[in-house]
Structure 1
Amino acid sequence: MNFNIGGPSNLSSSSSSSDEEEEAIMAAPGAMDAEEEEMIAQYGQFQQAMAQYLNQQNNPVRRGGSIPGHIVINRDRESADRRLFYDYFTENPRYNDQMFRRRFRMGRSLFLRIVEKVEARDNYFMQRRDSVGRLGLSALQKITAVFRMLAYGCPADATDEYIKIGESITIESLKRFYRAVVEEFAGEYLRSPNATDVARLLRIGKDRGFPGMLGSLDCMHWKWKNCPTAWAGQYAGRSGSPTIILEAVADYDLWIWHAYFGLSGTNNDINVLEASHLFSNLTQGIAHPAHYVIQGKEYNLSYYLADGIYPKWSTLVQTIHDPRGPKKKYLQ
């Protein structure tokens, strides 16, 4: 038995002739054997599959935007935005300036300046309406969630309880916040001091009793919570847990104008100093000049205040050991 199978266009014409042929075969007693019955069954299955295919082509399934297994939570973000505003950012907030500084690790005016600059740099932080007209998350909500993570090291989903923001949006806000801050403030704050800055730092150091001082130099360890197990040994420092070292120079107003970050926690301050580029300009002879007099002697190189582990260089001034009392003399 031969079947003339055409495309979707001649399926209807071929179906009528096949029905007549099938009726004629069924009418003849004993005319079909097992092979013919199997072929007829296969042909019926083919017709059913082709009809289903044409139905799908003519009536495509419209899929929604929901993710299978995703739990939709009505967080009432509008009320959370109003509560956040009345708690911290209105003219008479519920929490005063001292509590704001403790919880945000900065003053309210500085925080609002950062929000304004970041929102102008990246429109992701601008509050918009969704397809049904509801207001989305505000810039205050997104950036407050970012600062809670940075200030307290809390996970992304922990900010949902007060700010009513999802974990994925919090992580995306954190990434975009980093990028916007670098793009907006790098030219002013992430740089080495120029001649004007050096003159200002020297003047302030002189007024504070340290003529020729540019700032304080020290290293600090940052805990690497998600350090790979294979690297944990080389990054485990004195605390026993994996850490990464940051070398920084800061002046009186906490302007960190030198930062060298990334060495493993097994290094000490001397190893970090030898690997950093702190004195690269000085070795090339292009450092900014500094002229000051101490006890009648003139100096032309500025220096940094450091602790006792640093080498005795002319550009590093260590702390003076001056114990007060007999107990301090013997125990220090």
Structure 2
Amino acid sequence: MNPSFISNCSSSSDEDGENSHMIYIYNQYMQDMQRRIDNNNMLTQFPRDHQIPQIYRGSVPGHIFINRDREGAHARLYNDDFVDNPLYNETMFCRRFRMSRPLFLRIVDAVKEHDDCFMQRSDGTRRLGLSSLQKVVVVDYDLWIWHAYFGLPGSNNDINVLDSSHLSYNLTQGIAPPAHYVIPSKEYNIGYYPAD
């Protein structure tokens, strides 16, 4: 309150002025509280009005769960190939995996030590994922398909690549896309393919 206002007024007017000031402060406080309540209501109503999509974590509702029986597949793989008296003998194992059983197991151990990706983990539902054996078998099979289609590593030398190329076959038959250019006064009508 203004001190000069207090000194110029009588005691009864002092009480009236003080009461009116208190009422003014109270009204300001109530208006501020109402603004905060309105703001809070607006913030809580916004998501309802704008239908913000629900964020799902984990499985999406409505999707079908397919039980792939990973545990059973591991048990069958282990019992067929890696127990003391396996279903498939050493010859069948070598035919299937193109290596001996001890070598395969050394590879599994080395891969597990090299890359954590090949360790068996549990998923979000605490079910065990693929075992290390299953992962290495899949990688071995995929690599076998890759080698069957593209050849063994290092086998794609210049001769093999050119031999499998449709472009080089067509060139040997005299078939080439039209190309006309002149290099120091000599005219060419066939493409020029530099080699290293």
Q: TM-score, normalised by structure 1?
A: 0.32
Tell me the residue number matched to 1:129. Answer: 122
- CA contact under 8 A between 2:79 and 2:87: conserved in structure 1? yes
Match of 1:12 among 33, 38, 62: 38
Q: Give, in angstroms, the shift of residue 265 of structure 1.
A: 2.5
Identity %: 43
- CA contact under 8 A between 1:119 and 1:125: conserved in structure 2? yes
Tell me the residue number matched to 2:107. Answer: 114
Q: Give, in angstroms, the shift of residue 95 of structure 1.
A: 0.4
Q: Give, in angstroms, the shift of residue 129 of structure 1.
A: 2.5
Tell me the residue number matched to 1:265. Answer: 161
The 3 A distance-change label for structure 1 pair 66 and 148 is same
Give distance in 2, aligned partners of 1:56 and 1:140.
53
- CA contact under 8 A between 2:58 and 2:124: conserved in structure 1? no
Measured against aligned partners, the alpha-carbon deviations of 1:132-186 in whole angstroms (never above 9, x if no partner) come to: 33222110001111112222x28xxxxxxxxxxxxxxxxxxxxxxxxxxxxxxxx
Give distance in 2, aligned partners of 1:261 and 1:125.
29
Q: Give, in angstroms, the shift of residue 11 of structure 1.
A: 7.2
Mean Cα deviation higher: 102-111 or 61-70: 61-70
- CA contact under 8 A between 1:245 and 1:265: conserved in structure 2? no
Q: Give, in angstroms, the shift of residue 267 of structure 1.
A: 5.0
Match of 2:93 among 70, 91, 100: 100
Measured against aligned partners, the alpha-carbon deviations of 1:56-104 in whole angstroms (never above 9, x if no partner) come to: 89x9944122369965321010011001000001110000000000010
- CA contact under 8 A between 1:81 and 1:141: conserved in structure 2? yes
Measured against aligned partners, the alpha-carbon deviations of 1:199-232 in whole angstroms (never above 9, x if no partner) come to: xxxxxxxxxxxxxxxxxxxxxx9745xxxxxxxx
1:143 aligns with 2:136: yes
Q: Give, in angstroms, the shift of residue 51 of structure 1.
A: 6.2
Q: Which amino acid aligns with 2:161?
A: G
- CA contact under 8 A between 1:245 and 1:262: conserved in structure 2? no
Which structure: greater strand fraction?
Answer: 1
Tell me the residue number matched to 1:79. Answer: 72
- CA contact under 8 A between 1:127 and 1:136: conserved in structure 2? yes
Q: Which amino acid aligns with 2:38?
A: S
Q: Kindly report the root-mean-square deviation, in angstroms, between the aligned alpha carbons of the 2 structures.
A: 3.9
Aligned structure 1 segments of 4 or more residues deviating by more than 6 angstroms: none
Instruction: Look up the SS of the partner of 2:162 in the other structure.
Output: coil
Q: Give, in angstroms, the shift of residue 108 of structure 1.
A: 0.5
The 3 A distance-change label for structure 1 pair 120 and 67 is same
Q: Which amino acid aligns with 1:104?
A: F
Aligned length: 127
Give distance in 2, aligned partners of 1:122 and 1:56.
49
Give distance in 2, aligned partners of 1:96 and 1:245.
27
The 3 A distance-change label for structure 1 pair 61 and 104 is same
- CA contact under 8 A between 2:120 and 2:128: conserved in structure 1? yes
Q: Which amino acid aligns with 1:85?
A: Y
Give distance in 2, aligned partners of 1:56 and 1:138.
48
Q: Which amino acid aligns with 2:96?
A: R
Which structure: greater helix fraction?
Answer: 2
- CA contact under 8 A between 1:78 and 1:135: conserved in structure 2? yes
Q: Which segments of 5 or more consecutive residues in structure 1 lack a partner in the other structure?
A: 1-8, 16-46, 155-220, 225-243, 247-258, 269-332
- CA contact under 8 A between 1:125 and 1:142: conserved in structure 2? yes
